[in-house]
A and B are shown apart, each in its own frame.
Chain A
Amino acid sequence: MSIAPVSQFFILSPRGDTIISKDYRGDAVAGTTDTFFRKVKFWESGDPPPCFTIDGVNYIYVRKNGLLFAVSTQWNVSPSMFLELLNRLAKVFKDYCGVLSEEAIRKNFILVYELLDETLDYGYPQGTSTETLRNHVRNEPILVDSVKSMRLPSALKTKTAPSSSIQKPVSGSGQKNGSQRNEIFVDILERLSVLFSQSGQVVNSSIDGCIQMKSYLSGNPELRLALNEDLVVGKANAGSSFGSVVLDDCNFHECAKLDEFESMRQLSFTPPDGEFVLLNYRMNAEFRCPFRLFPSIGDIDPYRMEVVVIVRADMPETAAGTNVVVRLPMPRNAVSVSSEVESRVPGQTAEYSANEHRVVWTIKKFQGSSELTLRAKVTLPNVVNAANRKEVGPVSMQFEIPMYNVSNLQVRYLKIAEFAKSYNPFRWVRYVTQSSSYVCRV
C-alpha cells in the first residue's frame, strides 16, 4: 500500500530556517520542521539515513547545494518515490530559477509555491517535467545576480559555451522574441570507482556513466542519438564480443523510444526542456584505469619513515587530468611531515595539513602517459612500528579528465529526425571522466 501521500514539503536553510513550507493535506503536525532539523543536526555520527521517523511522523530528505529538501508524512509511503521527487523538485527549481540557492528560492518564492501546487496535489506527485509545467506556471523567474551577469557568447567567436550558460533558466522571455539560439548540450559523463590493492592491482572497479543533456531547441523536435554499433547490454550476452563495449545494465529517460535500440543502437526522443539524463549505464568489467597508484613505505631511521606515492597516467598523451588532488593520510601522532614533489613538472604542490593528518597533493594538469612522484618524510615521537605504518593511507585521488572516456561508449551522431528538420542546431558534445571513489590501499 505504498500509493501514499506526503503531508508537507519544506526547504530549510543550512541554519535551519524555513525557506519554503507547503502543507498539502491540512494535517501537518506543528513544529515538524524544527523537530526534523534538530534530528538531522544532532545525529550521532555523520548524516542520519535519508528516511526516519519521530513521534509518528516520517521524514524523507536530501541535501541540495547546502539546502535541506524534505517531506513529512504519516503514511507508509514509497521512500524511493519521494527521494526521486525531491531530486526532481530541486531540478525543476533550478531550471526555473537558473540556479539553486537560498537567495534564488527566496526571491522566487511565489514561483516556487506555484510550481509546488502543480507538482504535487494532495501530497501525490503529479507532473514534474519542466516543459509540461510551463503550461501551468505563470510567474516569471527573477534572476539572481550570478545569472544576470552572464552574457551569451557569439558562436562565431568561440567554440565552447561558457559554463555559466548552464545557469540560464529554461523558461522566460528569450523564446518569444526569437533571440533564442538553437543549441543542445550533451555530456557523456563517467564516474569511476576503483579500488587498488597495495600492490597496485585492481580489487574492484566500476563505471557509473550517463548521457546528460540540456536542450534549448525551439519547437522541441524529435532527435536521434546513435551509440556504438557493437554495444552489448548485459553480461550474459557478452559471449563472443571481444573488443566491443559491454554495459552491465542501462536505463533510460522516459522520453526515450527504444524501437531501434536493439537493432541499431539508436535512440529517438523528444527532448524535454531543461536538464535531463537520457541514459544511465553501468560497467563492472575490467577497464583501463586512467591513473594507477603505487604507494610504498620505507624507513629512513628509527624515528622517521618515508612514504612514496607514484602516480602513472595510463592514458594517451592527448588526454590530461585536471584539478587532480591526491590525499595521503599520515599517522596521527606524526611530529612533522615534509613532502616533496618533482620540480621539473610545474603546477603541483604538496602540503601537510596537521589538523587532518594528511598530505594533500594537488596537480593542476596531469598529462597522459606521464608519471609523477610524491615523497613524504614523516618524523614520529616513537620508534616506527607496525601500527604507525597501518595509519598511513589509504591514498585517495580526485580528478576530472575532459574529452576522454574510459568505457569507449561513443555518440556516433545526434541529429534532428528527418521529417522535423528545419534548422541545424548547435550541438555541444563533451566527454568527461571523473573520479567517484578512487582509492589505493597502503
Chain B
Amino acid sequence: MAGRAVRAPGGSDSRFFTTTKKGETHELRQELNSPNRDKKKDAVKKVIANMTVGKDVAMLFTDVINCIQTENIELKKLVYLYLINYAKTQPELTLLAVNTFVKDANDPNPLIRALAVRTMGCIRVEKITEYLCEPLRKALRDDDPYVRKTAAVCVAKLYDINADLVEDQGFLQILRDLICDPNPTVVANAVAALSEIGDTSGRDVMEIDTSVLQKLLAALNECTEWGQVFILDSLAKYTPADGREAEGIIERVTPRLQHANSAVVMSAVKVVLTYLDSVTSVDTSRSFSRKLAPPLVTLLNSEPETQYVALRNINLIVQKRPGILESEIKVFFCKYNDPIYVKMEKLETIIRLVNDRNIDQVLLELKEYAQEVDVEFVRKAVRAIGRCAIKLERAAERCINVLLELIQTKVNYVLQEAVIVIKDIFRKYPNRYESIISALCENLDTLDEPEAKASIIWIIGEYAERIDNADEQLEHFLETFEEESAEVQLQLLTATVKLFLKQPEDTQDMVQRVLQLATEESDDPDLRDRGFVYWRLLSTNPEAAKAVVLSEKPNIADDTFTLEPAVLDMLIGQISTLSSIYYKPPEAFVMKQAPISRAEDEDLDDDDEDAEEYANEDGEDYEYDSNNADGLTGPSDTSNGSGAVDLLSMDDLSVNDAPAPAAAAAAAAAVPAAPGGGGIVDLFGGGAGAAAPPAAPVQKTVVCPAAQGGGLEILGAFVLRGGALFLDVDVNNRDAAPTQQLAVQLNKNTFGIVPAQQQIAFDQPLAPGASASYSLPMSLTPAMLAPPGSPVGAPVQTALKNMQTGAVLYFNIPVDGLSTMLPPAGPMGRDQFLAAWKSVDDSLEVSKEAQGLPFSGDVSAVTRKLQERNIYFVAGREAPGQQIVYYSFKLVQLHMLAEVTFPVGGSAAAPRLCIRSEAPPYAPLALQLLEAALRQ
C-alpha cells in the first residue's frame, strides 16, 4: 500500500502524504509538540495519513498521545484513531491514555462521553478493561441516548476481550434492561449486542418473553432502518406461543414490507415466513403469504446486487411456498442487460414456477436465451428446457421440438447440452420419443465433452435395437477408448454389453475387446470392477446378465435442486443471511459463532450432512450436473451396485442390512455422476470425498500405529459437527502399495455407534507416503449398544479392512461420552419438554439416587455446570423439602429429558436423578452421563 497516495497534488489533505524525506519523524515530533493548535492538528493528520498507507508511525506514540488533552473534538478524534491502531503494540503506554478516557467519559458534552466509551472498547488491550467497567456502567445509564447506544455496543466489545468480566459485572442484565429503553436506537443496539454475545457464547442471553416482545414490536416502528433489521432478526428467533400470537406479530411486521430498504424487507419476509408455520387458519395464512409477493417482486427492480440476494432467497421461498409467486413468472424473465449471475438465478426461478399454463410462454423465452452469446447462460437455458420436459409430462413433446430446433443451429455447445438433456428425457419417458435419435446421431462427430459423449453412448446402448448401425457407432467410439474420461469409458463398457445382449451374433468380438480393455488395460478401479462383474455375469449366467443389465430403470424426477424439507426449513429460517445465499448451514462457513439450535433445527441434525453435501455441490457455481446423484443423469445398469458389493466380499463386514436391492438401484443411478468414487459410497449420500471440510480441527490420536496396521497408520477420533456424529480419521500410508478404499466395522459399544457409511473411499488412490483425512458419518442405534453392565466410556473396538490388500486391522478408538456425545443443542421449550415428558410411559423412566453427590444448595451453580456440558435448564419448581429441576439435552440426535430432585433444608437424602427418553434403551446411558456431569 505504501506510497500509493503520494501522487495526488497538494492543496488538500493529500498534502499530508507528501513527506517522505529523511528526518521526517523528527520534524513531525516537533510539530506534534508545537503549542500552536492548528500546527498540532496538521501534524496528527500527517501521522494518520502515514498510518493509513501502511507506514509505521508507532515511534510517535507518546507524542501523539500527548495531544489527547484537548478541547478540540476534531483533534481528539484524530488521536483516538491513532490510538486504536497502535494500542496493541504499546499496551504499557496506552495506560497513559486511560485517565483521559475516564475524564472524557464524564465530560458534560455527550458527544465526548460517547466518543470516549466507543474508543475505549476498540482498544483491545486487556489491561485497560478494568478501567473501562465504571465508565461503561455509567454510560449505560447515561441521560443521553447517543451515549447509551454507544455503550450498548461497547458491552459486546468488552465481552469479546473479557467475557468473564462482563458476566461478573452484571452488564448482561443491564443490556437486557436496555431493551425497554425509551429510545428505539438504544433498543436496537442492545438487541444487536445481546445477539452477538449469544452467538459467541452459544447461550440464549436475550430471553425474549411476552413483555420483551411487546417492547421490541413498539421499537420496531420508531427506529432507524438498520435498527429495524436488528429487531426483525431477533423476532425471527422467538417461537410464538400459539397461532394467535403469531398472527398478531405478523400483523405488526407486515408494514415493514413496504420499506425502501431491501434489508428491512428481507428480514420482514423472514419473520412472516417463520411465523406462518404457527398460523393455524388456512385463510389467514394465505392472505399473509399473498402480501409477500409484491415486495419480493419489487426487489427485482433494485440494483443487480440486491436482485441477486433476493433471487437466491426467492428460490428457497418458492420451494417452501410455491403459491406465493405462482402468477408472477413474467417478472423473472431475463433482461438483456442483467448481469450473468442475475440471469442464472432467474432461470432457476423460472423452472421452479413453470406449469402447464405458462409453459408455452416459458419455452419461447428459453429458446431465445439459448441463442444468446453467453455460453454458460445458453447451456443452462438448454438444460432448463430439459428440466421443463421432465417436470411437465404434457409439455414434453413441445420441449423436445424446441430442442430439435436448437440442434439444427449446429452450435457446438448447444448441441452437447441438448444431447445430455434428451438422454434425461428418454430416462423419464422411455420408448416415446425415440424417433429423434436419428437427428442426434447425425451430429456424433461434433460431441467432444465427456458428459455429452457419455449421454449419446448411453442412448445408443439403450436403444441399440432401433438404431441400424449401433455397432458401427459404438465401434467408432471404441477406437479412442483409452483416451476417454472415466465417465465415457464406463458408459462405453455398459453400452457394449447391452448391445451384446441384444445382438450377440455380431458383437462378440467387440464385447470381448471392451472387457479386456476395462479389466486389463485400465487402472481405474471402478472400470475394472464393473468390467469384472460383467465378465463374470456373462460367463456364468447370460440370462441373469440380461435380467440385470437390461432391467427397468428407476424413474427419475426433476429434483436436482430440491432440498430436503428439513434443510429447506433450516434455510428458510436463515433468509436474508449469507447462509441463504450459499445454501449452506452457517456452521459450514462461519467461524465466529457457536451454534445455537433453535426449536425448528432440532430434528435437523441427521440431515446436516445432506445440507453440506448440497452446499458443496452448489459451490461449483451453476453446474447443473454436479449434483445429479439424485438420478436425473442416472442412466446405468442395476448390476453395478450389488455386483460391486459381492465382488469386494463385503458381506462378512456388513453390519447394517439396509442397502438391499432398492438401495443398490439408487447406487447404480448414482454411478455415472461420480466418476471418481465407488458406487457404494454415493449410496449413502456422502458423495465422493464426502465430508465437507471439518469446521474445527479435531484432536485425533493415533489409534493404530503403522506396524500394527499393515503399513497404514490411522489417527482417529469421534467428533460432533453440526449436531451429527462423525468418525474423523487420518490415514497415513506407510505401505509400499497405494490404497484407496477401506471398509469400517465397529463392535457393539457403549453408545451403539454404527457407521452410516461403511466405506472410506478416497478421491485419489492414496500413494505410499501420502496421507489423507476422511470424515465418516456415524449414527446411533440401540441394536449396537453394548450389553448392560459394560463399562461406560470403554473405547470402541473397530475393524478396518484395506480393500486393496484384504488385510483387516483391529484397534480401539477412545470415546468420551461427556465431551463428544452431547451436542450444543440448546434448551428445549417448556411446552415441548412437557409434551415429550408425558409421551414417555412411566415404566420407561430410569432413575437413581446419586449417593454422595456434592450439592451446595445452589441450583444455579449446578445449572451453569451442566450447561458447560450442553445440558440445558428447562424449568424448575419447589416442593416441600426438595427442589426439582428439569433439564434437556441431546445424545447425538436423541432427545433426553432429565429431572433432578435436590434435597433442600438440610435433608440428608441424596439427589435423585431421573431420565426419560424417546429412545428408552439409551436412557440408562444418559443417566450415567448426567451423573458424571454432575459429579465433575
Contacts and interface: CB of A to CB of B under 8 A. Distances in A.
Contact of A437 (B5, B259, B336, B374): B336
Interface stretch (A124-132, A168-176, A180-188, A371-379): A124-132
Given A75-B593, A122-B157, A252-B260, A83 B305 contact: yes
A45 B376 contact: yes
A46 B339 contact: yes
A396 B410 CA distance: 26
A48 B331 CA distance: 23
A240 interface: no
Given A83-B305, A280-B260, A46 B341 contact: yes
Contacts of B196: 3-5
Contact of B260 (A50, A74, A248, A251): A251
Given A76-B577, A204-B333, A282-B298, A2 B48 contact: no
A3 B303 contact: no
Contact of A110 (B13, B199, B263, B308): B13
Contacts of A280: 260, 298, 301
A195 B336 CA distance: 9
B335 A248 contact: no
Given A51-B578, A53-B589, A124-B153, A81 B263 contact: yes
B262 interface: yes
Contact of B8 (A74, A106, A234): A106
B331 A84 contact: no
B695 to A, nearest CB: 10
Contacts of A277: 260
A122 B153 contact: yes
A155 to B, nearest CB: 31
Q: How many B residues touch the partner, as a band? A: 35 or more
B14 A106 contact: yes
Interface stretch (A136-144, A303-311, A312-320): A136-144
A194 B929 CA distance: 67
B817 to A, nearest CB: 29
A139 B156 contact: no
Given A3-B192, A3-B230, A121-B118, A80 B266 contact: yes
B487 to A, nearest CB: 22
Contacts of B582: 53
B45 interface: yes
Given A83-B262, A249-B295, A122 B336 contact: no
A248 B294 contact: yes
Overall SS of chain A's interface: mixed
A45 B341 CA distance: 9
Contacts of B261: 84, 254
Interface string A53-68: 1001010011000000
A436 interface: yes
B576 A78 contact: yes
B591 interface: yes
A120 to B, nearest CB: 9
B199 A139 contact: no
A387 B590 contact: no
B374 A45 contact: yes
B541 interface: no
A127 B224 contact: yes
Contacts of B74: 138-139
Contacts of B295: 249, 251
B908 interface: no
A441 B368 contact: yes
Interface in B3-18: 4-5, 8, 12-14
Contacts of B298: 248-251, 280, 282
A7 to B, nearest CB: 9
Question: Which residue among B229, B234, B267, B374 has the maximum number of chain A CB atoms within 10 Å of its CB?
Answer: B229
Interface string A177-210: 0000000000000000101000000011010100
B229 A81 contact: yes
Interface string A232-271: 0010000000000000111111100000000000000000
B78 A78 contact: no
Nearest to A233: B294
Interface in A28-73: 45-51, 53, 56, 58, 61-62
Contacts of B234: 3
Contacts of A299: none
Contacts of B410: 387
Contacts of B810: none
Nearest to A142: B12
Interface in A359-416: 387, 390, 394, 396
B756 to A, nearest CB: 27
Given A46-B341, A84-B306, A3 B260 contact: no
Interface string A111-122: 101100100011
A254 B260 contact: yes
Given A81-B229, A251-B260, A254-B260, A76 B593 contact: yes
Contacts of A441: 368
Contacts of B263: 78, 80-81, 83-84
Contact of A77 (B122, B224, B338, B578): B578
A255 to B, nearest CB: 10
Nearest to B118: A121
A224 interface: no
A74 B586 CA distance: 11
B52 A109 contact: yes
B297 A248 contact: yes
B731 to A, nearest CB: 25
Contacts of A48: 341
Contacts of B586: 1, 76
A224 B123 CA distance: 47
A254 B225 contact: yes
Given A81-B263, A83-B303, A45 B574 contact: no
Interface string B577-597: 111011000100111110010
A107 interface: yes
A254 B633 CA distance: 50
B159 to A, nearest CB: 11
A284 interface: yes
A206 B371 contact: no
A294 B229 CA distance: 48
A195 B339 contact: no
Contact of A124 (B192, B304, B592): B192
Contacts of B376: 45
Nearest to A139: B74
B576 A390 contact: no
Nearest to B156: A122
Nearest to A280: B260
A17 B4 contact: yes
Question: Which residue among B52, B266, B375, B577 has the maximum number of chain A CB atoms within 10 Å of its CB?
Answer: B577
B578 A107 contact: no
A20 to B, nearest CB: 8
A221 interface: no
B409 A254 contact: no
Contacts of B230: 3, 124
Interface of A: 1-5, 17-21, 25-26, 45-51, 53, 56, 58, 61-62, 74-81, 83-85, 87, 103, 106-111, 113-114, 117, 121-122, 124-129, 135-136, 138-139, 142, 193, 195, 203-204, 206, 208, 234, 248-254, 277, 280, 282, 284, 387, 390, 394, 396, 436-437, 439, 441
28 contacts: A3-B192, A4-B195, A4-B592, A5-B192, A45-B376, A46-B341, A47-B341, A48-B341, A56-B591, A74-B590, A79-B578, A84-B262, A84-B306, A107-B8, A108-B13, A113-B52, A117-B118, A122-B121, A126-B149, A128-B226, A204-B333, A248-B297, A249-B294, A249-B295, A251-B260, A254-B261, A282-B298, A396-B337
Interchain residue pairs A-B with the least CB separation, the first 6: A50-B305, A249-B294, A81-B263, A437-B335, A80-B263, A125-B226
Given A109-B13, A113-B48, A124-B230, 11 more contacts: A1-B199, A53-B582, A53-B589, A77-B578, A78-B266, A83-B309, A124-B192, A127-B185, A254-B225, A277-B260, A280-B260
